[in-house]
Structure 1
Amino acid sequence: MFSVSLWNYSLSINPNVTESTFGLIVGANSFAQAIAAPIFGYWSNRIENVKLPLFIGLLFMVSGNILYSILPLFDTSAYSWLIVARLLTGIGAGNSALIRAYASQSSSSEDRSKAIAWTTAGDTLGTTTGPLIQLFFLPLGKEGLELFGFRINMYTSPALFACFIDLMGIVIVSRFFVEDYSMLRYEQKGLDSNMMHPCWTAVGVCVVTRYSQALLLSTFDGVGSSFASMMFGFTEEETVRNNNFSISVQAAIGLLVYFSFIYFNLGRRIAMRTSVLVALLCFILYHCLTFAYPFYDLHVKLASPDVKGRQFGVCESSRFTWCTSLTTYHPLVFYISYLTFVGGFFPIINIALTTLFSKVIGPRAQGTLQGLFQVAGCISKMSSPTILGSTYTVGGPRLVWILQITQLISVLFLWIIFRRKMIGMQERVDEQLEKECKDCEEKEDKTKLEILIWATGERCKA
């Protein structure tokens, strides 16, 4: 909610904060999530309970937001306490893997994508409305109001509102959340105990894909604003307006996709493995369409050497050697391609990948592995500023695009090579059963065939 104003808030409590030290503040949240997510998951599996870890995670978030809102009281040590606040909220956010785990464990295999769509839609709604809610606190200004020696301003009030939301979550979890694993126990009955181990190759491919997916999104978060301003000659106001508009449209498309999966239960009609492959192909196509090819006629505007300070809408050739050769194209090509191929297929891969990952794990406690799945995204968020920032400095948008195309093609090849392994546990058991039945028929082992028919409820006979 308050990530947009984090930089300004950091400067208000410590004017000496630099971009590198600010990176520690931003990365603290993802680092804490990466540590906490598998711990919450393992703890949930051990106690066979999701409610208590969810409750504890929300308490961490409340404490982190309270600390964030009272930072001006710490004077010179406020910067250190800001990192602590970010760590606390990151630890609390680590419990989000439990929500996916419970959605997977409490839903049937056929309705899994519908359950995942509900949880993912909640994430999207929160991510979208968070920055918008902050706009309501802007009239308070930097000075704000003083209440009992505590200052409530445009920076601290969003954190207090976040505390209120977290407390509401605690009440809902405590009073209304009832765990029900009847569907999990039902699906476990249909599986041979010897087949209850997930395919670790498929688990690894899903985790790598999650990292790739988060790295793709980090491109727009990290260099999106500077890219749009430089490539299309936008002023500062135009950059903010166009980016906010594209984010809003992307969020609307995402919610439309999620609720389509919920209302029409598209997961029963669309193969999850195919959905991931199509989404990866669309991401590659997006980068191919928006690549700044050298044979284009238009070139970016170069910064004036006579103007000091930061300039918008130009490429600073004094800083980047690639500016003089960088070509550009019409901004509509970029935004239409982005909203169509990324905005349209990112929510699809969100649902498909998470659904398939839960099916690969199978009907079992999923907390630890769902935590590992979340860790992949957190590591990507921590490493992407360095990877993408250094790549952008050396080679500009072209090299960043080449990096993304390379990593997306690599992930796509993994899915093609291991496509037979990228199936749910139940489907894997059925394939093994079919193979054993055929072996019995070929060897004319009627006794074993009858045993298989009896043990599997005549699925083998069918």
Structure 2
Amino acid sequence: MYTSPALLMVLISLISIILLIFCFSESYAGVVATNEQGVRGRFDMIPKYDRAAAISCIYLWFMLQSVATNIEVIATPFAISLYNWNDATAVFYNGILQFISCCINVVNYIVISYTRIGRIDKRKLLIFSCSCFIVYHLLTFPWPFYGGPLDFIKIDDNSTVEDTSISGGCLRRYEWCAYTSRVPLIIYVFSFIVILGFAFPFTSAPLGTVFSEILGPRKQGMMQGLFEFGACIARCISPLILTILFERSGYLWTTLMHLGLLSIGMALLIIFYQRIVPLRLRPKSGIPTPYKEGVFYRL
């Protein structure tokens, strides 16, 4: 049940490595050319990129990966605790929800690529996506009017073993189950399928493009590495933090944590809205523009 997906990903990764070795040809499209010594021409000056805009993009990618990790880590224990599903049922139904949501993701990626939606200002798409994530977490927040408390795992009269492979529910060591409300199943299903089906593509698709445009036509290996490093940090630390929070407080503080991250992301998009733009290679006349060797002016 748990090993098959991992083995499948090992196979896919091996195929990807083979394709990378034999089919990938590295070339730099749109990069300002250099001579054989790697030095640009005297008049080939690229302005410095906006660091605040670049850092905002790195944070947004970190935020997206943290939210994705939260959903991946919490989905199964969340369903077991709230809806009394056993292990197999939780994995099966969450897999179905994930499949349908991913189908919506694919449709949205196609829409972004081949329709006028993709030509909308990418900053607006990012704000829309961030809003979707916030709505998802608000809908799946343990509001007191949702009803509860949660049910504990049923055990036999002569047993003390809580086996989630047989019966779902809350473990008795989770004290928060006694006062935590249950998100209605219909709201959980709708949020997981529809809202996340729109939220992920409208960050994943435009964000990398925006980040590359902010950096401009220069070699971006270092900055793209930092971009992915932020995502790796989220993937490394989020499971540890989320597991501890879920064990101690259920899904209350995991939801609040991500609402905080999303609020910061939304604030960055609004505050730096005018700066999250492609690098201007031809600055306005008479304005001092910093570049690697100093400052230049365009007359």
TM-score class, shorter: 0.7 to 0.9
Show structure 1 runs of 4+ deviating over 6 A: none
Match of 1:310 in 2: 163
- CA spacing shift, 1:356–1:304, aligned 2, 3 Å: same
Corresponding residue number in structure 2 for 1:237: 88
Task: Compare relative contact order (CA 8 Å, sep 6+) and give the higher one, 1 or 2.
Answer: 2
Q: Alignment partner for residue 179 of structure 1, among 7, 13, 27?
A: 27
Residue identity opposite 1:5 in structure 2: T
Query: Which of structures 1 and 2 has the bigger CA Rg?
Result: 1
SS at match of 1:184: coil
Q: CA deviation at 1:227?
A: 0.3
Which stretches in structure 1 are left out of the alignment for 5+ residues? 7-130, 135-157, 437-450, 456-462
Report the CA distance shift for 1:391/1:359 in structure 2 as closer, same or farther (over 3 A): same
Q: Does structure 1 conserve the Cα–Cα contact (< 8 Å) formed by 2:174 and 2:248?
A: yes
1:202 maps to which residue? 53
Q: Deviations over 1:253-311 (max 9, x none)?
A: 222222223333643x2111111111111111111111111232343212246440333
- Cα distance, 1:262–1:323 mapped onto 2, change above 3 Å: same
* Structure-2 separation of matches of 1:162 and 1:349: 24
> 1:203, CA displacement in angstroms?
1.1
- Tell me the residue number matched to 1:418: 272
CA-based RMSD? 2.8
Q: Which runs of 5+ in 2 are unaligned?
A: 34-39, 288-296
8 Å Cα contact 1:231/1:328 also seen in 2: yes
Tell me which of 109, 112, 131 is aligned to 1:281.
Answer: 131
Deviations 1:324-372 (A, max 9, x none): 0111132121121122222212111001211111111111111111111
Cα pair 2:141 2:183 within 8 Å, conserved: no
Offset, 1:171: 1.8
The Cα of 1:244 is off from its aligned counterpart by 0.9
Asked if 1:260 corresponds to 2:107, the answer is: no
Contact 1:359-1:423 within 8 A present in 2 as well: yes
Give 1:326's match in structure 2, choosing from 175, 180, 183: 180
Aligned to 1:222: 73
**Residue equivalent to 1:84:** none
Match of 1:86 in 2: none
Q: Do 1:301 and 1:315's aligned partners in 2 also have CA atoms closer than 8 Å?
A: yes
For normalisation by structure 2, the TM-score amounts to 0.82
Deviation by residue 1:77-127 (Cα, 9 ceiling, x = unmatched):
xxxxxxxxxxxxxxxxxxxxxxxxxxxxxxxxxxxxxxxxxxxxxxxxxxx
Q: Deviations over 1:177-222 (max 9, x none)?
A: 36353x3349xx9xx8665211111111111111111110111111
Secondary structure (helix, strand or coil) at the match of 1:310 reads: coil
- Any residues of structure 2 matched to 1:87-106 within 5 Å, and which? none
Of 213, 221, 237, the residue aligned with 1:359 is 213
The counterpart of 1:251, out of the listed 102, 107, 118, is 102
Q: Which amino acid in 2 is paired with 1:233?
A: N
| Identity among equivalent pairs (%) | 22
Cα separation, partners in 2 of 1:326 and 1:161, compared to 1, 3 Å: closer
Match of 1:137 in 2: none
Distance 2:12 2:49 in 1: 42
Query: 1:232·1:330 contact (CA, 8 Å) conserved in 2?
Result: no
- Describe the SS at the equivalent of 1:238: helix
- Point out the structure with the larger helix share: 1
State whether residues 162 and 171 of structure 2, in contact with CA within 8 Å, keep that contact through their aligned partners in structure 1: no
Offset of residue 237 of structure 1: 2.6
- How many residue pairs were aligned? 277
Alpha-carbon displacement from aligned partner over 1:32-71 (angstroms, at most 9, x marks no partner): xxxxxxxxxxxxxxxxxxxxxxxxxxxxxxxxxxxxxxxx
Alignment correspondent of 1:123: none
**Quick one: distance in 1 between partners of 2:104 and 2:86?**
27
